[in-house]
Amino acid sequence: MTDYPDVPTRLANGESVPRSEILAYWGDGYFLQVTYGLEALVTAYIMEKIYDGETLLYHLTPLGVNIRRDLVTRLEGDCPECPECP
């Protein structure tokens, strides 16, 4: 996972990231798992596919951003203290 260590941050910041960089982030041996995972996230409207010429890009949808902010951020412990958090 060292080829593109900034992939999660770029996705969280709303950037569209090429599929090749997402695959490189996970490394060899995860091609099928990542491909199926991306398609599941697209099907669930969490991510969206965009074609820029011949490059396939993925980015978070507004739903994906909300899930990231409300669920993942709290699970990772990065949520700022607020009255809503337990």
For the segment 23-63, what is each residue's pLDDT rounded down to a tens digit?
A: 999 988 899 999 999 999 999 999 999 999 999 999 999 99
The tokens describing 83, both together, are 């009255």
Helices 31-43 and 19-26: angle between axes, nearest 10 degrees:
130
What is the CATH number assigned to the segment(s) 7-76? Answer: 1.10.10.10
pTM of the model: 0.77
Residue 1: pLDDT over 60: no
The tokens describing 25, both together, are 């982030």
Cα(6)–Cα(43) distance, integer angstroms? 24
Residue type, 39: E
pLDDT for 69 equals: 78
